[in-house]
Amino acid sequence: MEAPYEEFGSLVFGENELRERLPRPVYLSYKKTVTNEGSLDRPTADAIAHAMKRWALEKGATHYTHWFQPLTGTTAEKHDAFIEPDQHGQPFTHFSGKNLIKGEPDASSFPSGGLRATFEARGYTYWDVTSPVFIKGSVLCIPTIFVSYNGESLDKKDPLLKSVKVLSDASTRMVNLLGEKDVKSCSTSVGLEQEYFLVDKKFVDARPDLKLCGRTLFGSPAPKGQELDDHYFGIIPERVSAFMKDVNHSLWKLGIYAKTEHNEVAPQQFELAPVFSDGNMAVDQNQLTMEILNKTAEKHGLACLLHEKPFAGINGSGKHNNWSITTDNGQNLFSPGDKPAENIRFLAFICSFIRAVDENALLLRMSASNPGNDHRLGANEAPPAIISVYLGAYIEQILYGLYMNSPAQSGKKETVTEFNPISGLSYIPHDNTDRNRTSPVAFTGNKFEFRMVGSSMSAAVPNIVLNTIMADSLNKFADELEGIKYLQDVRVKALEVCRKIIHDHKRILFSGDGYSEEWVKEAERRGLPNVRSFIESIDILDDPATIDLLTKYNVYSRKELTARKAIYTEQYIKTVTIEVRTLLEMVRKDILPAVTADLKFNMEAAAACGKKVPAYLKNRCSRLDAAIDDIYLSAEKLDEKFCALSAEGQTSAAGKKFYYEICPLMEDVRKAIDSYEVIADKRFYKMPSYMDILYTL
């Protein structure tokens, strides 16, 4: 590999290492496990473990860990050294097949939502053979699932793997029915665009809200925001460039194809996108990416803010989940081909997707939600909380043409193949997608881009939901084709099913401005749900149809769903609780003393003026006097309500009260502080402002 990429994959025990280091039969047996055609026996596992250990020791690793993704949404690890004493007390290194395959972390403190009593610490981790082992620092990390003693899943990876299989089966069934019998399995391809903010670390140290909550709880807008659009795709500042270089290098070593980097819309907001990969691996790699962004920022004296809305009034951050389905012989099932109107397989998959989204809009909404995303969805330049699908005019016309029974070719291709903007360029790649950045679910050429997902979230749940709802819709479609003898008749029937789906689900298609007020009204008229908050979105986990769907495919059990709802509820209440406490602490220890000192200074100045007090001082004293009251009284009101509601326990009803009663009171405090901040004297008010934080890199 050329010099800058020399170390690509050097920290991954990947395909090459496996092939080179394992005896041929062991390697083949491992490959069978990966493709689900066999299970690992003890000698094979031992041989792989041995090779892995040798490789890890050569790379300087001293420990190994089962790396898993508990329901906190982050990753967890417990390290064990390879070194042990032998029976003579002499040191030797040890890592067996059993160590590789199964672990028993004493992980009783992770949320289990009642799936596991705390006194029973047992939870087990099992190696996920489909995601590569890697080295982080001096630790060999083995991606694993995390389940309870009874086999209930305690993590986000286990249901993801199940959903991948469910979708593979359904897609394969459908493709086979449509005539391609040689397809044996399908997988998802996922590309996760990651948005984030970078700020100088010193500001985070000076702001407890950024430090503890990941977002500012108050702060008046800087005189300049993002209105000039001068940050988007602009020149990347040098300090950020150095940071990105470091990030890329770390990611490449881990075999992650970090590809695109650019400034985002808001000041000091950026994006990183890797090349898409297998869905399960992409989710793991995104977790690693977030970790590396955080760590690298620290090394550069920066802080990486992954929160969905660190600053009010400017864009928040998302994680765009680009998703498609690929057959084992490499065909993208969302690829329109040259003649999409005649491509029945394409039409069937697109229509199945449309139905999946319309029937499960609430579940999809939930899958992209977390407490932080409440501040982003529907706010500045973020997708609304209403789910709709954007297909682009070209594909939409084809579908409507099909629906109206007019010749299927009616779609007018909006390509630029004829247009040659620069003389001398003989080849201009064509692009048959137009763009609508305001849609939460957009078809972008040969994949769907789900833009609602919060930037700090694990991408597991959105993919679990996409995979499962699509599988169900495909299976319904396939049911209608089953038993038809001749392929020609299958194709006729498939078109009929597509027409019916378009008829029943066209309400979910929307190509206008998703950020507009009119759309909110129009969506309501169409009967599309608009769930405002995370805490309300998780009610879908109690919905009988949703429970049926998820349990039918064994992606979650009923108990696991109940547990998740309990955990999400707790997570929400805890998040708001931390925010309220932080806000009150800052009001009492920083803000009120600052305004008081400011007022005292001005009152003394006014007194020194004798009889003729300048208007400026008079005005200032009365505004500061009012500010003290506003801040103090709004904070006391918040505290009172918070104390009362905190006593209600961590129920869903209490969570909704937190959203509808506590959050607006926090907003009141914010408004009071912000109006002081506008006139604050910097000698007394030391809190870094938006202007300080967002215009320094």
What string of DSSP letters covers 506-525? GGGB--S-TTSHHHHHHHHH
Residue burial 277-299, b: 16+ Cβ < 10 Å; e: rest? bbbbbbbbbbbbbbebbeebbee
Partner from Mg ion, ligand ADP, none binding residue 53, C-beta < 5-8 Å depending on class: none
What is the smallest separation between the CB atom of 591 and Mg ion, expressed in angstroms? 38
Query: From the CB of 264, what's the least distance to Mg ion, in Å?
Result: 9
| CB of 193 or CB of 630, closer to Mg ion | 193
Query: Does residue 195 interact with ligand ADP by CB under 6 A?
Result: no
Distance of alpha carbon 490 from alpha carbon 496, whole angstroms: 10
- Give the N- to C-terminal CA distance of the chain in Å, as an integer: 33
Specify the 3-state DSSP secondary structure of 381: coil
Task: Please choose, out of 30-38, 42-50, 270-278, 592-600, the segment that lies near ligand ADP by the rule CB under 6 A.
Answer: 270-278
CA dist., res. 314 & res. 673, Å (int): 18
How far apart CA 110 and CA 632 sit, in angstroms, is: 38
Query: Which of residues 274, 336, 392, 655 is near ligand ADP by CB under 6 A?
Result: 274
Of the residues 447, 564, 620, 623, which one makes contact with ligand ADP according to CB under 6 A: 447
Q: Which is nearer to Mg ion, 272 or 595 (CB)?
A: 272
Q: Does 439 sit near ligand ADP (CB under 6 A)? A: no
Q: Tell me which of 95, 146, 218, 276 binds ligand ADP, using CB under 6 A.
A: 276
Query: Least distance from C-beta 276 to Mg ion, angstroms?
Result: 12
Q: Which stretch binds ligand ADP (CB under 6 A): 15-23, 344-352, 441-449, 474-482?
A: 441-449
E-assigned strand segments in 68-183: 79-81, 83-85, 91-93, 102-103, 123-127, 133-136, 139-148
Quick check: 281 and 132 in contact, CB under 8 A? yes
Query: 3-state class of 294 per DSSP?
Result: helix
Number of other residues whose CB lies within 10 A of the CB of residue 126: 17
Stretch that binds Mg ion, among 160-168, 188-196, 364-372, 398-406 (CB under 5 A): 188-196
Return the SS3 of 308: coil
Stretch that binds ligand ADP, among 269-277, 608-616, 618-626, 677-685 (CB under 6 A): 269-277
Residue whose CB is less far from ligand ADP, 290 or 550: 290
Amino acid letter at 158?
A: D
Q: How far is it, in rounded angstroms, from Cα 675 to Cα 224?
A: 17
Q: Name residues whose C-beta falls within 8 Å of residue 618's C-beta, 6 or more positions apart in sequence.
A: 606
| Contact mark string toward ligand ADP, 237..266, x via CB under 6 A | -----------------------x------
Rounded to an integer, what distance in angstroms lies between the CA atom of residue 531 and that of residue 539?
10
Quick one: which of 112, 322, 569, 689 contacts ligand ADP (CB under 6 A)? 322
Number of residues forming the site for ligand ADP (CB under 6 A): 16
Measured CA to CA, the distance from residue 689 to residue 677 in angstroms comes to 8
Q: Which residue has the tokens 């001068």?
A: 230
- Contact status: 449 vs Mg ion (CB under 5 A): no
Site size with Mg ion, rule: CB under 5 A: 1
Residue 181's contacts (CB-CB under 8 Å, 6 or more residues apart) are none
Binding mask 331-360 for ligand ADP (x = CB under 6 A): -x----------------------------
How far is 367 from 574, CA to CA, in rounded Å?
19
Q: What is the DSSP letter of 420?
A: -
324 binds, among Mg ion, ligand ADP, none (CB under 5 to 8 A by kind): ligand ADP
Quick one: which of 381, 377, 374, 370 has its CA closest to 314? Answer: 381
d(CA 460, CA 107): 21
Would you count residue 275 as binding ligand ADP (CB under 6 A)?
yes
Cα–Cα distance, 172 to 186 (Å, whole number):
6
Tell me: does residue 191 bind ligand ADP (CB under 6 A): yes
Q: With respect to ligand ADP, which residue has the nearer C-beta, 134 or 334? A: 334
Is residue 189 part of the contact set for ligand ADP (CB under 6 A)? yes
Select 146 or 346, whichever has its Cβ closest to ligand ADP. 346
Q: Is 655 in the site for ligand ADP (CB under 6 A)?
A: no
Among 152, 155, 158, 193, indicate the residue that binds Mg ion (CB under 5 A): 193
Choose the contact partner of 143 out of ligand ADP, Mg ion, none; CB within 5 to 8 A by kind.
Answer: none
Nearest to ligand ADP of 191, 384 (CB atom): 191
Answer with the entry of Mg ion, ligand ADP, none that 132 interacts with (C-beta below 5 to 8 A by kind). none
With contacts defined by CB under 6 A, name the span among 72-80, 130-138, 186-194, 605-613 that binds ligand ADP.
186-194
Please give the residues from 26 up to 85 whose contact with Mg ion meets the rule CB under 5 A.
Answer: none
Question: What SS3 class is residue 272?
Answer: strand
Q: What is 618-645 written as a DSSP string?
A: HHHHHHHHHHHHHHHHHHHHHHHHHHHH
Closest approach of ligand ADP to the CB of residue 417, in Å: 20
Binding site for ligand ADP (CB under 6 A): 189-191, 193, 260, 273-276, 322-324, 332, 446-447, 449
Binding site for Mg ion (CB under 5 A): 193
